[in-house]
Structure 1
Amino acid sequence: MMRRSIKMAVLSSILLFASCKNDNKSNEELMTDNLLLQEWTGPYEGTPAFDKMKVTDVKEAVEKGMELSLEEIEAIANNSEAPTFKNTIEAMESSGKVLDRVFAYYGIMSSNVSSPEFREIQAELAPKLSEFRSKISQNEKLFQRIKAVYDASQETPLEPQAQRVVELTYKQFEMNGANLDAEKKKRYAEINKELSSLYTKFANNVLHDEENYVTYLNEDQLDGLSDAFIKSAAKIASDKGKEGMYAITNTRSSMDPFLTYSTNRDLRKQVWTNYYSRGDNGDEYDNNKIIAEILKLRKERVGLLGYDNYAQWRLQDRMAKNPENAMALMEAVWPAATARVKEEVADMQVIANELGDNITIEPWDYRYYAEKVRKKKYDLDSDEVKQYLQLDKLREAMFFVAGELFNFEFIPIEEGKVPVFQEDVKVWEVKDRTSGKHIGLWYLDTFARQGKRSGAWATTYRSYTSFEGEKTVLASNNNNFVKPAPGEAVLISWDDATTFFHEFGHALHFFSSNVKYPTLNGGVRDYTEFQSQLLERWLSTDKVINQFLVHYETGEPIPASLVEKIKNASTFNQGFGTTEYLASALMDMKLHLADPSDIDIDKFERETLDELGMPKELPMRHRTPHFGHVFSGEGYATAYYGYMWADVLTSDASEAFKEAPGGFYDKDVADKLVKYLFAPRNAMDPADAYRKFRGRDAKIEALMRDRGFPVPQG
């Protein structure tokens, strides 16, 4: 999952701030005393001083950053000169630099090194940040200036990137209530303030359950688990003060392999239950009432703007345009996915019966018996494949792909030269291979740990722009692989390797940026996952397999026979993967189309899944009470379908490479890929950009072929 650039996160979130003053210190004293406010220094055009940041500086820095930003906005709004692109839109694009810097640190403390102390400050700041954003989005004088520039641009268009910024800025303000009357604006701002606190509480509740539901095993409960997993589990338990035991943490990276290999069914059920009950344990960290309140407030807010539901409002500027189009795509794939699940379950039940296990397949059995089916049907052992999937070699493979397609070179930075926030974080310089031009820095935060949110994501600390001189990129990838015992290699599953490539695709999107203005580094949610999903395809190319998939002990290349098995099994378990994802995406949309006035979240989830015909043998990928994409903020709300929308583009674009003379490394297709699909970011309408790349719109047939589903006829 991608996190947007800090500039876009600040400019496009729906937040606002009343007045905040630091009466005891002058601006100069604050800038001197508070590291988070200071300009970045050192090589590479300056980098964040992550090694020196302190939680105690956060509140003061955020409040001062907001105050300075508001002063800049007020100066723009009250400019006595007639509104122009330069004195209004460009001035806005240039504003907020201090707060941008603060939010680089704030984002790290929130996602990578969270602590109880930070979460208290975060909860206190959430409503203030909301008020601050609304103060900007509802500034009447500012909006009238924006509108004047927008109206003029409709008569006399500006150069393309300037025109795009004007239109995106105007639309953003319009969608966030700039045209409302004073009374409705007041209520709109109040709703945003309430929502900001609810989002923070939701996310912190999930993090609490991830940190506090750990399953500890004894030595006689390890049957089926690999040596590497056992050593890692022992290290985690030891770190948590449970010497001699083995810890299964409540994260996907720990849960998934345990459910795949553990022979102890009761323990599988316990680990499964812990994971899928996050935010749903009926205690003070339960999220069900919070979700119900979020849905009510979202519907009320868009009602002020004249929309029937949240989905209508949210999707108007996405590729799908409306919820009907998004639902049509999901409903076209759902029957084929659930039909495949029935086939997969039948295959698993046969295996269970043959083994004399005397069980009926339950959700905590799916991964375990699917692995046995994989071995039987394709003679493919996932654990055998893992021996050739060493994390360091996969990183080298990603660098190779980046060089072949994007002409990037990744050079490791000497430890200590660039500050990092945790000792495991490594940094590389990114250069153009031909010219040697410095592009930026890539930070990699690999391992799961206490205080780090689960999942995988990419973000930027500084994005490329050129309107005030070229700015180089500071980008990061963040994963939650289980840290190995000392001296052990990090071996990961094929799915985890795919995720590794996926998030790197976001980073390449950041590094490829060739836009003039910060706003254009943002993205259309059902399009921005496309670039990262597309990069996954290079993992299974012959050049990557033949060069980088080598046995972690012997260095021997992966056998051709095993590669053949992997490719033969490429559509294996697509019923599970597609159905668990689609169930979450459909739930997201249906929750926001429903009447939330008296909604019971648990009941709605159960009844909706029944109506969909959800197979009982598997859960949604993200159950509603821990669906952070949708309820810890608004980025993916009614937009989780976007992964599948993007996957239609991905499958179709992949076929463009397959059809090219040079395959996935075809120079001409790669050049078009960078020119039209990576470099423009949001400077070009995504549908237009895709047509320039492919010569036509994407077709769903490629997606169905990729997943081994029946291709619709006619």
Structure 2
Amino acid sequence: MKKHNFSTHIKTLGLCALISFTACKEESQQQNDDVAMSDNILLQEWTGPYQGVPAFDKMKVEDIKEAMEIGMELGLKDIEAIANNPEPPTFENTIVAMERSAEELDRVSRYYGIFSSNVSSPEFRAIQAELAPKLSDYQSKISQNEKLFQRIKAVYDASQKTPLGDQEQRVVDLTYKQFEMNGANLDAAKKARYAEINKELSSLYTKFSNNVLHDEENYVTYLNKDQLGGLSDGFIKSAAKIATDKGHEGKYAITNTRSSMDPFLTYSTNRELRKQVWENYYSRGDNGDEYDNNQIIAEILKLRKERVALLGYDNYAEWRLQDRMAKTPENAMDLMLKVWPAATARVKEEVADMQAVANENGDNITIEPWDYRYYAEKVRKKKYDLDSDEVKQYLQLDKLTEAMFFVAGELFNYKFTPVEEGSVPVFNEDVNVWEVTDKDSGKHIGLWYLDPFAREGKRSGAWATTYRSYTSFDGETNVLASNNSNFVKPAPGEAVLVSWDDATTFFHEFGHALHFFAADVKYPTLQGGVRDYTEFQSQLLERWLSTDKVINQFLVHHETGKPMPAELVEKIKKASTFNQGFGTTEYLASALIDMKLHLADPTNIDIDKFERETLDELGMPKELPMRHRTPHFGHVFSGEGYATAYYGYMWADVLTSDASEAFAEAPGGFYDEAVAEKLVKYLFAPRNAMDPAEAYRLFRGRDAKIEALMRDRGFPVPQN
């Protein structure tokens, strides 16, 4: 979607999905004297201000392999010590000890994640491919440690008779469930096969991800000066700089990423070039060469099905969703299929409007997928007299950042202050850092890192991550959180202007950061999230972008400094449901394909054929593609974080729409103090320390209703 790869956190399994690193497991406090054996900077305890910070300025690719291997070795020593403890198993000597384990690997994983997502290189990718099966082995040695599991089971069984405190019980339940779901109860032969499957999958995930990155880096469209029709001055200057940086002086580069593709398809008057850029983007991983991902996906699906069959499940989706809010694939499909007909019906209306405009212009074309954004923009101007490029003049990245800080201050009482230059190491000169404090008491809460611009070696999209999260079981830790975007870097002296959609995504990712900062949990495992719930908080924060306080104070013209005119604001609000057919359908198509692929028999599956035939059966409009076509669907095939879980954005959006109505109905609107207090207390602070459904009921007084979502999107509201 607009978003990121927010990987699942489970402390009990030693490390999280480092292959697609984002919000990973939390920093523990235990020291391990063995680390002194190595002078590798990536293993060393963080030093400096703010409880210590990562030495991003000193990290080198050549250090990562040794550091990861030593980190895994030390992590396994911690686990063996717990498993072989001669004392009877207790919450303290088993569960808490696991929460403290693998401190060194935790530290290295932060650097590994940066190398993987933000500053990748061919050298790192080779190391990543070598480490992937080793990381899988490490996971298996923990999840299949029989002595360890028996200790966990003993603590779990005892807690069923004599319950622990709320957070302690939640940690025990989550830990036991994760071990159970990952094969702890299998016999020796099945455990061996389970581990082997995980190792095979880890290599496939890495190869899939690197193939997509290859196609993003190598399919660049270079334009001449006479091919720039319709493009804005700012976009042209950025494209010229990118081309120069790539050794093509005098040309203009359209890179194969959404941040470059999207505005080009919206404004370029050259239809053939629009088609070329569209095909490059939507063919990533699907070019029939050595970087093609179709066979890799087929292998992934077979291995996933075989693995869950060892546990007695009919399909991967059934296994995956048991601990999600949806609980079953049927429930997830039911939600999606309730919205799908309204979304595709709206697409037909949108296409009819676009075709009418094309006909009026005498363009003599039939709307194709590479025309959708271009003609949608013309319809927007005609219907609402709303020019996206005019709106963009009021959306400066720096002012949007200030707006987010303002919202955080109003709702969370946070203050953001830039740190002294050079006081906190960063991995790239574009990264900036702020200190986060409580506005009233001045209490230090943490640091916020922002890495805003696209560059070679950085994966596409936008995401949030933590380098350290709040826990209190071993003394309070501060939070080191990061937001990462792929805005096109402007030419020197030019303002960074973004689209309304990109501004919304910027607020969304900041919502994840606020979720990290607001966390009030004792144990690292409770920092994890339920996949179809964790997007809710960030989707909800998007709503503050369009509040009057933000618009009036921070959406000012980048040249004149004048606030956005009231008539333009009114046009934006009137057009709020514009193009919802496109937005909802392209997303839902990806979510439905994700689920249907994992419910299908993967034997001899032809991925391209399956995608094409399934979309035909669903009645997918031919005028637009899936948001993420299967061969580059990194959410689902570069790891397991979103596998059969991409529906979760819509599940969370039902909560978002319903919760936003709670603010809209309150006396103080979106800045109502009483509702904001409940927002922080029940929706942000608990993380995974309580059941999400119960947390939402505490906030709203009832379960969420789909009617709010339909109203939000301007779709017909189903009648009971």
Instruction: Determine if the alignment matches structure 1 residue 379 to structure 2 residue 385.
Output: yes
Helix, strand or coil at the partner of 1:444: strand
C-alpha distance after superposition, 1:488-519 (max 9, x if no partner): 00000000000000000000000000000000
**2:7–2:16 CA contact under 8 A, matched in 1:** no
The letter of the residue matching 2:478 is: T
1:406-462 Cα distance to aligned partner (Å, 9 max, x none): 001000012211000000000000001111110000000000000000000000000
**TM-aligned CA deviation for residue 27 of structure 1:** 4.1
Equivalent of residue 456 in structure 2, options 450, 453, 466: 450
Question: Which of 114, 126, 132 is matched with 2:132 structurally?
Answer: 126
2:82 and 2:17 map into 1 onto residues whose CA distance is 20
Which one of the candidate residues 593, 597, 607 is aligned to 2:603? 597
Per-residue deviation, 1:51: 0.5
Q: Aligned residue for 1:110?
A: 116
Alignment-derived partner of residue 20 in structure 1: none
- Report the alpha carbon displacement of residue 11 of structure 1 after superposing the two structures with TM: 3.8
**Matching residue within 414, 419, 423 for 2:425:** 419
* 1:90-146 C-alpha deviation (Å, 9 max, x unpaired): 000010110000000000000000000000000000000000000000000000000
- 3-state DSSP class of the match of 2:211? helix
Tell me the SS of whatever aligns to 1:474: strand
Give the match for residue 30 of structure 2. none
> Aligned equivalents of 1:421 and 1:160: distance in 2?
39
1:586 pairs, out of 567, 579, 592, with 592
Checking the alignment, whether the CA contact within 8 Å between 1:111 and 1:453 is kept in structure 2 is yes
* Map of 1:22 onto structure 2: none
Counterpart of 2:287? Answer: 281
2:693 paired with 1:687:
yes
For the Cα contact (< 8 Å) 2:132–2:206, is it kept in 1? yes
Residue identity over aligned pairs, in percent, reads: 85
Aligned to 1:607: 613
Match of 2:88 among 76, 82, 94: 82
1:565 partnered with 2:571 = yes
Give the letter for the 1:480 counterpart: N
1:174 aligns with 2:177: no
Amino acid corresponding to residue 659 of structure 1 in structure 2 = E
Cα deviation code 1:228-266 (max 9, x no counterpart): 000000000000000000000000000000000000000
1:460 partner SS: strand
Report the AA paired with residue 607 of structure 1.
E
1:3 maps to which residue? 6
- Work out the CA distance in 1 between the residues paired with 2:131 and 2:673: 49
Say whether the 8 Å CA contact 2:35–2:104 is kept in structure 1. no
CA contact (8 A) 1:40 1:46 kept: yes
Residue 3 (structure 1) shift: 2.7
List runs of 5+ in structure 2 lacking aligned partners: 20-32
| TM-score, length basis structure 1 | 0.98
Who is 1:343 aligned against? 349
The whole-number CA distance in structure 2 between the counterparts of 1:513 and 1:259 is 40
Distance 1:6 1:416 in 2: 31
1:624-643, aligned counterparts within 5 Å? Answer: 624-643=630-649
Aligned equivalents of 1:9, 1:170: Cα separation in 2? 9
Partner of residue 35 from structure 1, selected from 31, 41, 58: 41
Aligned to 1:21: none
| Deviations 1:162-205 (CA, angstroms, capped at 9, x unpaired) | 00000000000000000000000000000000000000000000
Q: Contact 2:8 / 2:531 at 8 angstroms: preserved in 1?
A: no
Give the gaps of 5 or more residues in structure 1: 17-25
**Contact 2:217–2:256 under 8 Å retained in 1:** yes
**1:390 alignment partner AA:** Q
Calculate the TM-score normalised by the size of structure 2.
Answer: 0.97
Cα contact 1:2–1:506 (8 A) shared by 2: no
Matched, 1:202 2:208: yes
The size of the alignment, in residue pairs, is: 704
Confirm or deny: 8 A CA contact 2:9 2:527 kept in the other structure.
no
Change (3 A) 1:35 1:419: same
Aligned residue number for residue 676 of structure 1? 682
Deviation at 1:4, TM superposition (A): 4.2
- What is aligned with 2:511? 505
Of the three residues 416, 437, 447, the one matched with 1:441 is 447
**Residue aligning to 1:23:** none
Partner of 2:236 in structure 1?
A: 230
Distance 1:579 1:13 in 2: 32
- Relative to structure 1, the CA distance from residue 9 to residue 73 in structure 2 (aligned partners, 3 Å threshold; closer, same or farther) is closer
8 Å contact from structure 2 (residues 254, 261) kept in 1: yes
Q: Contact 1:4–1:459 at 8 Å: present in 2 too?
A: no
SS in 2 for 1:484: coil
Distance in 2, Cα, partners of 1:4 & 1:110? 13
Letter in 2 for 1:3: F
Is contact 1:5-1:460 (8 Å) kept?
A: no
Relative distance call for 1:643 and 1:404 in structure 2 (3 A) is same
The reply to whether residue 152 of structure 1 matches residue 155 of structure 2 is: no
Q: How does 1:46-445 map to 2 (within 5 A)?
A: 46-445=52-451
- Which aligned runs of 4 or more in structure 1 are off by greater than 3 angstroms? 4-16, 26-31
Tell me the alpha carbon deviations over residues 355-396 of structure 1, each in whole angstroms, 9 at most, x when there is no partner.
000000000000000000000000000000000000000000
